[in-house]
């Protein structure tokens, strides 16, 4: 699978990850729809991860936009989460096969604050690894779903010359 490859085959420098969190019913899904629509994208995959496999990804390959709705850190190991949001094109396990992760935009909605996911890890390095890649949006209540109460943009896309 990964025999002779060029950097363009494995590196996707413009990955955007949006982590949208808040209590149930505050409009996280609505915010994702608004962001996808504003980006001009027409198609996206609604993804989940169960028992070692991603679901919602077609066997012929993923689109460029993925939405993981209702993420919990109990869904997958931290190493799987890091590979899912990585800027390298790597295989994602689906039932009966794998597809290459070519997502350029990933939207994650959760009731868990971004700083509390995988809180039981002994090292803070994995947290730094994914937090620097995310734009974090915190929605407080349904009435303020159009206004963002917290944005943490700590990661800029890296472009190789």
Per-residue pLDDT reduced to its tens digit, 55-91: 998 888 778 899 999 999 999 998 899 889 988 888 8
> How much is the pLDDT for 152?
52
> How much is the pLDDT for 158?
37
Contact call for residues 48 and 54 (beta carbons, < 8 A): yes
Query: pTM here?
Result: 0.83
Contact call for residues 28 and 21 (beta carbons, < 8 A): yes
> How much is the pLDDT for 5?
65
Alpha carbon separation from 105 to 8, 57, 102, 117, 124 (Å, rounded):
17, 14, 9, 20, 25
> How much is the pLDDT for 34?
95
Domains along the sequence of the chain with CATH = 7-153 (3.40.50)
Largest pairwise CA distance in the chain: 52
> How much is the pLDDT for 86?
85
> How much is the pLDDT for 79?
87
Bridge partners of 54?
49
> How much is the pLDDT for 83?
86
Bridge partners of 48?
55
Those residues of the chain that have pLDDT short of 50 are: 1-2, 145, 149, 153-161
* % of the chain with per-residue pLDDT over 70: 84
> How much is the pLDDT for 148?
56
- Measured at the alpha carbon of residue 55, what is the angle toward residues 50 and 61, in degrees to the nearest 5? 145
């Amino acid at each position: 699978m990964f025999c002779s490859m060029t950097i363009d085959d494995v590196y996707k420098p413009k990955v955007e990850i949006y982590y949208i969190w808040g209590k149930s019913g505050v409009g996280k899904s609505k915010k994702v729809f608004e962001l996808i629509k504003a980006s001009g994208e027409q198609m996206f995959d609604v993804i989940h991860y169960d028992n070692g496999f991603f679901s919602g990804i077609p066997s012929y390959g993923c689109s460029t936009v993925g939405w993981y709705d209702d993420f919990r850190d109990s869904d997958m190991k931290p190493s799987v989460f890091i590979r899912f949001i990585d800027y390298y094109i790597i295989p994602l396990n689906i039932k009966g096969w794998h597809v290459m992760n070519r997502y350029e935009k990933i939207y994650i909605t959760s009731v868990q604050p971004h700083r509390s996911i995988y809180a039981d890890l002994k090292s803070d390095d994995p947290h730094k690894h994914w937090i620097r890649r995310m734009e974090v949006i915190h929605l407080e209540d349904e009435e303020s779903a159009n206004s963002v109460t917290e944005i943490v943009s700590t990661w800029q896309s890296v472009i190789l010359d």
